[in-house]
Structure 1
Amino acid sequence: MKEWQKETVYQIYPRSFQDSNGDGIGDINGIISRLDYLKKLGIGLIWLTPMYRSPGNDNGYDIADYYQIDPVFGTMDDFERLLNEAHKRGIKIIMDMVLNHTSNENQWFQEALKSKNNPYHDFYIWRDPVDGHEPNNWVSKFSGSAWKYVPELNQYYLHLYDVTMPDLNWRNEKLRNKIFEMLKFWATKGIDGFRLDVINNISKDKNLPNDTFETPLDDGRNFYTNGPHVHEYIHEMYEKVFGPNNFVTVGELSSTPVSEAVKYTNPQREELSMAFTFHHVKVDYTGGNKWTLGHYKLTDLTKILSDWQVKMNHQGGWNALFWNNHDQPRAISRFTNDNEYRNESAKLLAMVEFGLQGTPYIYQGDEIAMKNAYFNDISQYKDHESINAYNELIDNGVEKEHAIKILQQKSRENSRLPMQWNSSKYYGFTTGQPWLKPVHHDDYSVEKVLKMKNNVFDFYKALIFLRKNKALLTDGKYKLLDSKDNSVYSYERYDDKGKILVMANFTDKKQTRTVRNGFDLLLGNYQDIKLDNGSVTLRPYESVMLENK
């Protein structure tokens, strides 16, 4: 068992974590100032979203220079100090890395624009027009065509994401070698691993065929998701960088079935340590469409989680467990009750996550029950994806009020509100004007939560402790107890020595369920928890973890 399989990872979105200089944007020195807070929480690794030089069209996922820290976050000296201070506290650092595309301001792409004969031109994916139109019908993840025409070259370049983010051509060995060289540069800095953005999209079908559009998912992804050489490319990275540096790596694997995720994460294949998959956070996509007012059924959610638990466990794969990240609205607002049962809901989600097999991830603010932004006007949004989706909804005849409600539920801007540290203006995040302003006053902050009895922060601490000290939570097999229960999610982790039972009431009504004799309370999210012989009555959003030795 690897150390990182028992540890907990804390994701920091630097722009929104802590500002140290009053410019309204979080920075590296701000992160350093909060390392003792993270040590107190008990986390073992920090995942930092991109801090490389970038024009910021996709909040840093559009990298203009892989070798430079963006001045808005600080300097390379600041970053090296962060590494040193984190390591002093026994905390490892995982950097986010984007290898599917670059910014169009990247020097490689600027060279590629000069001529078809420029050696950097083939670092990207170019095609000539077909009958005066785009080379195929693929759709960008940010809406519209995935192709951008460059008149000077009479060619289109592929951009699966924003138009300012051209896709790299991994078939080019020179490009791959440049990437490996760059990854080694960061390894020499002393980092401990990488989170690899949309890594399963780096290998495209060389014929770039049209997709069918029979469903909303037939938008081109059938020909670039988990493409023909993706495992070969990642294994090459393992051989040259990940393995020799003993890196912890996690791949973002959207639209990936379990069979593929196992290939990426089975240690015998020497590719990645673990996988982020997203089926469970698409459970409220109506007809597969994200931009709808969606509703979910608990049985659908538990089926997805259970399928991944059983199949990854049995086949030697490893999950990265999460509810929230910088690209997802807050789960507390999405799956539970972020108002009347806010504390209970936050703890319930934490318990369900930490009871599963995999490495748990906390996204900044989870530990104080931060909730959605609830912006009420499109002018408050900065995120290109959200703005594009809103405009498309309006163009399709959706009323503005309804379109805003959809964004309030689905926009990734919901999770990007600045971290709430205290009760001062802008919650102690900055002394200036924050880059993204909250619109509602929320009295929750680290300062307030830590003063509460039986608070969410301490609940996470207890779960992190259990993860490190209960081998059953790491190694045990998984079993869903009732696949038809649409109110309570109940599952067991078990081996030949004992069982741990997790029960979570996802409703605002009391729910009574039978429990076999011999279980004792390990942890619960209410203060006065009572176990009756043979049954347990769960109050609204109550969750319990029971142990049978």
Structure 2
Amino acid sequence: MHLAPPSAGALPRLLCSLLLAASAAQHGLAAPAAIDTAHVDAHPQASQLAPGWEHGAFMEIFVRAYQDSNGDGIGDLRGLTARLDYLQALGIKGIWLMPITASSDHDHGYATLDYRRIEPAYGSMADFDALIQAAHARGIGVIIDYVLNHAALQLPLFQQALAGPSAPYRDWFVWQDRTPLDWDIWGHNPWTATPNGAYYGTFGGHMPDFNLRNPATLDYHFSSLRFWLNRGLDGFRLDAVPHLIENGAKEWNDQPESRALTKQVQALVKAYPQRYVVCEATADPVAYGADDVCGSAFAFNFQYAIMDAARGKPEAVKTVAAYFEHAPLSMATMLTNHDLFAGQRPWDQLGGKEARMKLAAASYLLMPGTPFIYYGEEIGQAGRTDLDGDGQIRSPMSWGADGRGFTQGTPFRPIAPNAATHNPEVERKDPHSMLAFYKAMIALRNTRASIAQGDYADEVQGQLMVLRRRLGAEQSLVLINYAEAPAQIALDGLPRDTALPALFPADAAAAHSDATGHASFSVPALSVLVVKADTQP
């Protein structure tokens, strides 16, 4: 076939297309497709949720691993919607969905391809809308992961930017003419060389960073956030916010500009009534949890102290008790999450010892902060420690003994090794199961405002931790004994000459204060006692 030579005006466009195609071929990519970058105005709507919903217990859900509805072995939005009754019965007030937008990684979803389109394996936008409606009908809020810092190498906008310095969207990303050699992030150089310059990627060349100093880039992201909020979404978990903006080879983490930008995003989201924002900020969680930055942030490292306390280490008990003396009460707490650096599943960390797993659960479900339960944690689901990397903690939810509860097909990843004994079907029948314990702890949070939103005072005696949670006239005493022997403690400053009934366990004997407000309590080994100590209004 003979082709006429291109005109002079068409030559630059042809060269750009050839370079773009060559780049795509080099990386095994399809030609870039158009995506929606249009500006989106804010259309705030009244929340469908009860005030204070964000103080309830959340469930972090990896949609791919939660429930398959069509037999392809991959969890999806329709499957999740079908499991909302389970979450409601558990007492969950919010769900955080790991990325559900179109991605290139075909797994975790953090390599975003399109910020305004649902991952095809998860379903459609209609499925998303149905999920929101069904969740709200059950009093459950929905937040999703938003990856502001970086996108997939295959992102169509970045593929166009690869063509050269004058290419469309070039200044939406971070470039240098030559590869800087003096950078080191976690043992690798974050700059990737191309024929037309080097681009920056905090997490590697497969996920280039956005240039978030560019107003056009910010408008795209702010518009994408509004796109979801306008559809009724209840908020976001913001990924990797300390890495949003870099100032040099030694100033790439937690820069003042990153904190300021995080505050901007919080303000955008909070312009919608009763919306919630929580940040991943491993650099300085407490600083990012402050109202003038994100307003809430995951309490990284706190989970390690909780696990050590659950093992009975006295110094860790002190650390757990004192955490909120200096951290905002709005911090997001957890035992683990989808990243292995945060820890194996509690079952594996504590050797399957359910008594200690329950102590760990009570330690954060009854403390200040917003607790985030990692899916399967509530049934004591084990990890797949025979797998590599993060896959160890991202197996399908153990709905039944053989994996059929998750899918009628072949699961995308092997099921948990203890699925036969630790699944909702089995545990619903056992009043002493992990599931029953989580349900009881969450019920306390849902029925006692002092636990969900109250003030906080702590006291430690050996391996016994006492928390006084107060809101107005309501006071709840939380006593957690991490020791293998019973513990006794005398407390002052209680309501005078009154019965102090146990809220948990229900069969525990009531204590009684004397005329001075003094009372003694006995807490069995490896157990939790929650006491009602309300004052007269």
**Range into which the TM-score falls when normalised by the shorter chain:** 0.7 to 0.9
Alpha-carbon separation, structure 2, partners of 1:366 and 1:35: 17
> Residue 521 of structure 1 contacts residue 544 of structure 1 at CA under 8 Å; is this kept in 2?
no
> Residue 52 of structure 1 contacts residue 69 of structure 1 at CA under 8 Å; is this kept in 2?
yes
Pair 1:231–1:489, CA change in 2 (3 A): same
My pick for the range that moved more, 165-174 or 467-476, is 467-476
Q: Does 1:433 align with 2:410?
A: yes
Pair 1:303–1:138, CA change in 2 (3 A): farther
Pair 1:198–1:466, CA change in 2 (3 A): same
**Which secondary structure does the structure 2 equivalent of 1:513 belong to?**
strand
- Equivalent residue, structure 2, for 1:45: 94
Q: Does 1:516 align with 2:491?
A: yes
**Which secondary structure does the structure 1 equivalent of 2:532 belong to?**
strand
Deviations 1:462-492 (A, max 9, x none): 333322332322343323312x83x444433
Note the 1:14-413 alignment, pairs <5 A: 14-56=63-105, 59-129=108-178, 134-140=180-186, 144-150=188-194, 152-153=195-196, 155-205=197-247, 208-210=248-250, 223-244=251-272, 246-256=274-284, 258=286, 260-263=287-290, 266=291, 269=292, 272-282=294-304, 298-299=313-314, 301-313=316-328, 318-327=330-339, 328-333=342-347, 336-338=350-352, 341-342=353-354, 344-375=355-386, 380-381=387-388, 386=389, 412-413=390-391
**Which secondary structure does the structure 2 equivalent of 1:116 belong to?**
coil
State the Cα distance separating 1:65 from its structure 2 match.
Answer: 0.9
State the Cα distance separating 1:493 from its structure 2 match.
Answer: 2.6
Pair 1:460–1:160, CA change in 2 (3 A): same
Pair 1:466–1:521, CA change in 2 (3 A): same
Note the 1:363-512 alignment, pairs <5 A: 363-375=374-386, 380-381=387-388, 386=389, 412-423=390-401, 425-438=402-415, 440-442=417-419, 443-482=421-460, 485=462, 487-494=463-470, 497=473, 499-507=475-483, 509-512=484-487
State the Cα distance separating 1:526 from its structure 2 match.
Answer: 9.8
Which amino acid counterpart does residue 331 of structure 2 have in structure 1? Answer: N
Which amino acid counterpart does residue 232 of structure 1 have in structure 2? Answer: A
Alpha-carbon separation, structure 2, partners of 1:324 and 1:347: 14
**Which secondary structure does the structure 2 equivalent of 1:60 belong to?**
coil
Which amino acid counterpart does residue 102 of structure 2 have in structure 1? Answer: R
For the pair shown, the structure with the greater C-alpha radius of gyration is 2
> Residue 63 of structure 2 contacts residue 100 of structure 2 at CA under 8 Å; is this kept in 1?
yes
Q: TM-score, normalised by structure 2?
A: 0.79
> Residue 5 of structure 1 contacts residue 474 of structure 1 at CA under 8 Å; is this kept in 2?
no
> Residue 51 of structure 2 contacts residue 274 of structure 2 at CA under 8 Å; is this kept in 1?
no
State the Cα distance separating 1:321 from its structure 2 match.
Answer: 2.0
My pick for the range that moved more, 189-198 or 509-518, is 509-518
Q: Which structure 1 segments of 5+ residues have no match?
A: 211-222, 287-294, 387-411
Pair 1:510–1:305, CA change in 2 (3 A): closer
> Residue 57 of structure 1 contacts residue 164 of structure 1 at CA under 8 Å; is this kept in 2?
no
Pair 1:299–1:171, CA change in 2 (3 A): farther
Pair 1:415–1:489, CA change in 2 (3 A): farther
> Residue 72 of structure 2 contacts residue 407 of structure 2 at CA under 8 Å; is this kept in 1?
yes
State the Cα distance separating 1:500 from its structure 2 match.
Answer: 3.0
- Identity, in percent, stands at 27
> Residue 348 of structure 1 contacts residue 525 of structure 1 at CA under 8 Å; is this kept in 2?
no
Which amino acid counterpart does residue 512 of structure 1 have in structure 2? Answer: A
- Equivalent residue, structure 1, for 2:36: none
**Which secondary structure does the structure 2 equivalent of 1:40 belong to?**
helix
Alpha-carbon separation, structure 1, partners of 2:107 and 2:482: 34
- Equivalent residue, structure 2, for 1:407: none
Alpha-carbon separation, structure 2, partners of 1:296 and 1:256: 26
State the Cα distance separating 1:273 from its structure 2 match.
Answer: 4.1
Deviations 1:248-299 (A, max 9, x none): 11111112153x2353xx2xx4x5342113022355999xxxxxxxx98845
Deviations 1:335-366 (A, max 9, x none): 5341xx32x33432222112211122222112
Aligned length: 470
Give the root-mean-square deviation of aligned CA atoms. 3.1
Alpha-carbon separation, structure 1, partners of 2:312 and 2:191: 37
Q: TM-score, normalised by structure 1?
A: 0.77
**Which secondary structure does the structure 2 equivalent of 1:478 belong to?**
strand
Alpha-carbon separation, structure 2, partners of 1:284 and 1:465: 21
Alpha-carbon separation, structure 2, partners of 1:502 and 1:335: 24
> Residue 306 of structure 2 contacts residue 335 of structure 2 at CA under 8 Å; is this kept in 1?
no
- Equivalent residue, structure 1, for 2:530: 545
Pair 1:515–1:436, CA change in 2 (3 A): farther
